[in-house]
Chain A
Amino acid sequence: MSFNSFKRALWAYHLNTGSCNGCDIEILAVLTPRYDVERFGIVLVGSPRHADVLLVTGPVARQMVSRLKRVYEQVPDPKMVIVVGNCGIEGGVFHESYNLVGPVDQVIPVDVYVPGCPPRPEAITEAVVKAWVKLEKAEQGVG
C-alpha cells in the first residue's frame, strides 16, 4: 500500500460518548509497545482541530449529542469517523436505555465501523488503515 496524497502522519481524536470504557482501553492498547501504531505515524491528539480521524466509542447519550456534533464540526476537512465497538454501532447492551439518542451514525456520518465488545486492537488498527485509505481518496478529490 502506498500513499501519495496524504503523506503526513494520521492524527486521531478519541471521543467517548457514553462507553463503558472497554473500547477506550482497547484503543489505548493499540498505542502500547505490543501494537505500537505510532511507528506508522498514527497518534492520538488532544484536540479535534488537529485531527484527521474521529474515533468514537459508546452509544450517544442524550447529554453528549451537542458535544459530539460540535467536536465533529471542529475536525478540519477531509475527515473520517470511526466507530469503535458494538455500542456505537447499534447500542449494544445499552440499546434500550432511556438516556440514549441512538447509535453514532444517527447523529454524525460514520465512515468505518469496528464491531466487537470490545474489538481487538488488531481490528481497530485495520479500521484506522481503512480510514487512511478513504482519507487518501478524499484528499485526492479535495486537492
Chain B
Amino acid sequence: MISLPFWNPVICIIAFVILIAIAYLFRSRGQKKYKGGTAQTEVFLSGEAPPAAEQRHVKSHNIYWGFFQALKQYYDPTVRAHTGIINDFIIWFIAIAALTALILLITSLI
C-alpha cells in the first residue's frame, strides 16, 4: 500500500497567514521617513540616474529563453512557415485538410 504524504489545506492557510504576519512585522520595523516622489525612494545605482522602469526590469520573454533555445530545431521551421501572407496560410489550411481527409479515408477503409 502506498502511503500518501500528509495534506491539509487548513494548515497551509494558517502557515500562509503566519508568514504574511512575519513579513508585515519586518516591513513595519523599516525606515518610515522616506519622502515619496523624491530621490529617497528611487533605485540606488551607485549615484547614476536610474533608467525607466521598462528598461531596468527583466523582460518576461527572458524567462523562456532556455525553453526556446532547447526547442530551436522545432521552432525555426515553424517560424519560417509563418510568413504572414494570407495565401501561404490558405495553402497550409488546404494541405492539412487534405491530409486529414486522406487519413480519415484510409482509416475507414482498414
Q: A residues within 8 Å of B by Cβ?
A: 15, 47-50, 64, 66-68, 70-71, 73-77, 142
A-B contact count (CB 8 A): 37
Closest to B44 in A: A47
The 8 A-B residue pairs with the shortest CB-CB distance, nearest first, are A67-B47, A73-B39, A47-B44, A71-B47, A74-B39, A76-B33, A70-B47, A76-B34
Complex CA–CA separation, A50 to B30 (angstroms): 10
Q: How far is the CB of A24 from chain B (nearest CB, A)?
A: 16
Could you tell me if B49 and A73 are in contact, using CB atoms closer than 8 angstroms?
A: no
Could you tell me if B31 and A74 are in contact, using CB atoms closer than 8 angstroms?
A: no
Verify if B42 is at the interface (C-beta below 8 Å from A). yes
Closest to A73 in B: B39
Point out the residue from A49, A66, A142 that lies within 8 Å of B40, measured CB to CB. Answer: A49
Does more than half of chain A's interface fall in helix, strand or loop, or is it mixed? helix
Q: How far is the CB of A103 from chain B (nearest CB, A)?
A: 18
Q: How far is the CB of B30 from chain A (nearest CB, A)?
A: 10
Neighbouring A residues of B38 by C-beta, 8 Å: 73
**11 additional contacts (CB under 8 A) given A50-B31, A67-B47:** A15-B47, A48-B44, A49-B31, A49-B34, A66-B47, A66-B49, A68-B47, A71-B47, A73-B38, A74-B39, A77-B33
Closest to B34 in A: A76
Could you tell me if A77 and B35 are in contact, using CB atoms closer than 8 angstroms?
A: yes
Complex CA–CA separation, A131 to B27 (angstroms): 27
Q: Can you list 18 pairs linking A and B with CB atoms under 8 Å apart?
A: A49-B34, A49-B44, A66-B47, A66-B49, A67-B48, A68-B47, A70-B49, A73-B38, A74-B39, A74-B40, A74-B42, A74-B44, A75-B40, A76-B31, A76-B33, A76-B35, A76-B40, A142-B33
Neighbouring A residues of B49 by C-beta, 8 Å: 66, 70
Could you tell me if B47 and A73 are in contact, using CB atoms closer than 8 angstroms?
A: no
Closest to A47 in B: B44
Complex CA–CA separation, A64 to B79 (angstroms): 49
Neighbouring B residues of A142 by C-beta, 8 Å: 33
Closest to A50 in B: B31
Interface centre among A50, A64, A76 (most CB of B within 10 A): A76
Neighbouring B residues of A77 by C-beta, 8 Å: 33, 35, 40
Q: How far is the CB of B50 from chain A (nearest CB, A)?
A: 9
